[in-house]
């Protein structure tokens, strides 16, 4: 795959908008790959001669430190290509779904960081460097569902990398630059903005994302996993989410969130050194796959006696939750006597556990309230 180019025709472009009108700012750029032998030619154009004999050549503006920082960042930002297995559509033709996002080379040894939703479900991964060269990639580890973060590895010849900056040093109004991969454009993109919020949180996919940097940079589809840099060219955030409307449905512009560099630093270090960032694993922690967050509307529709919590839908065989006797249909309303609700979902309660700490789950089951201790596995 190294050095390959793709002649596939992009015949469909679908921009996915996540539930709640908030989604990752990439992973939703999806193309359908069909024939490789179609080609296009530029339209004919007749140039109109322009007399420039008396014009003085323009003098380029002097390069600034920010110009240099952006140039270095462009060389370290990649496009992440995630392919799903080929399948046959309703017409009988074979097709393959391809999602595009961004990533950042964080180490010249070949480590690339991105958002987990960019690579989730992919059967094959690759990255396209700023030079246009495509290299194979493999997923080393991810931190889902606790954060939307993943680390990839690629062949390391001739890579440029970014240095992690101190996101705690950011100040409101400070200029920042969002640099992303190709996405739906023909090359890497640059957007300038300011820090408009610090230590922010936002709910996405039944998890409260924390320690976010809010900016007004014009982040778009395909930018997720890109770099947010300061004026020194240091990585202070990983582009993660763009907000299109409020929970009440009001339109929003100029609001995007990045995972802060300081929140990602220990995860990066552990994954590179150990191959994993240890988190409590019960076998019921993934929203939608293992449980559903209960809302008042859902409680009324399903006849539940409690208007919040997490309703278990599946339990991994052999997991600590299975060993403790947790069952599908159990309604978890508290962890260690701390309530589970939309403000602090089940995943966030688990995230707060200390290593080795037992999770005492308060469970409603068939009209009874039970307290079931579960010892999470750290993996």
CB 113 within 8 A of CB 77: no
Inter-residue contact 86 to 57 (CB < 8 Å):
no
Active site (catalytic) residues = 117, 148, 224
Contact 257, 243 (CB under 8 A): yes
Q: In this structure, what DSSP letter does residue 343 have? A: S
Residues pairing with 194 in the sheet? 175
Taking the C-alpha atoms of residue 307 and residue 333, their distance in angstroms, rounded to an integer, is 9
Q: Which segments within 224-350 are labelled E, that is strand?
A: 227-229, 235-243, 256-260, 280-281, 291-293, 310-312, 331-335, 338-339
3-state secondary structure of 283: coil
Minimal CA–CA distance to 200: which of 183, 182, 212, 184?
A: 212
317 and 311 in contact (C-beta within 8 Å)?
Answer: no
């Amino acid at each position: 795959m190294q050095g390959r180019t793709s002649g596939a025709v992009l015949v469909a472009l679908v921009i996915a908008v996540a539930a709640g009108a908030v989604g990752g700012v990439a992973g939703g750029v999806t193309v359908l790959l069909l024939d490789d032998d179609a080609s296009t030619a530029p339209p004919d154009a007749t140039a109109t001669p322009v007399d420039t004999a008396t014009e003085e050549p323009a003098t380029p503006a002097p390069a600034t430190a920010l110009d240099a920082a952006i140039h270095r960042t462009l060389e370290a930002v990649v496009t992440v290509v995630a392919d799903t297995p080929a399948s046959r559509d309703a017409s009988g033709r074979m097709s393959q779904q391809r999602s595009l996002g961004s990533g950042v080379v964080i180490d010249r040894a070949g480590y690339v960081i991105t958002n987990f939703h960019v690579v989730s479900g992919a059967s094959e991964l690759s990255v396209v460097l700023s030079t246009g060269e495509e290299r194979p990639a493999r997923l080393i580890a991810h931190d889902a569902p606790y954060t939307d973060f993943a680390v990839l590895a690629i062949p390391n010849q001739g890579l440029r990398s970014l240095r992690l900056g101190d996101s705690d040093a950011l100040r409101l109004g400070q200029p920042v630059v969002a640099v992303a991969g190709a996405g739906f454009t023909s090359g890497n993109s640059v957007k300038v903005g300011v820090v408009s919020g610090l230590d922010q949180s936002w709910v996405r996919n039944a998890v409260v994302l924390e320690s976010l940097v809010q900016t007004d940079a014009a982040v778009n589809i395909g930018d997720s996993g890109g770099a947010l840099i300061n004026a020194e060219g240091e990585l202070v955030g990983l582009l993660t989410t763009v907000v299109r409307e409020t929970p009440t449905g009001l339109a929003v512009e100029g609001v995007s969130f990045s995972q802060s560099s300081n929140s990602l630093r220990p995860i990066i270090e552990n994954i590179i050194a150990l191959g994993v960032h240890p988190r409590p694993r019960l076998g019921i922690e993934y929203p939608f796959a293992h449980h559903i967050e209960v809302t008042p509307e859902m409680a009324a529709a399903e006849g539940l006696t409690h208007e919040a919590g997490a309703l278990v839908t599946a339990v991994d065989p052999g997991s600590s939750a299975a060993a403790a006797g947790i069952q599908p249909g159990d309604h978890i309303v508290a962890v260690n006597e701390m309530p589970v609700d939309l403000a602090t979902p089940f995943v966030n309660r688990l995230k707060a556990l200390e290593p080795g700490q037992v999770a005492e789950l308060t469970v409603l089951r068939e009209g009874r309230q039970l307290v079931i201790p579960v010892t999470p596995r750290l993996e």
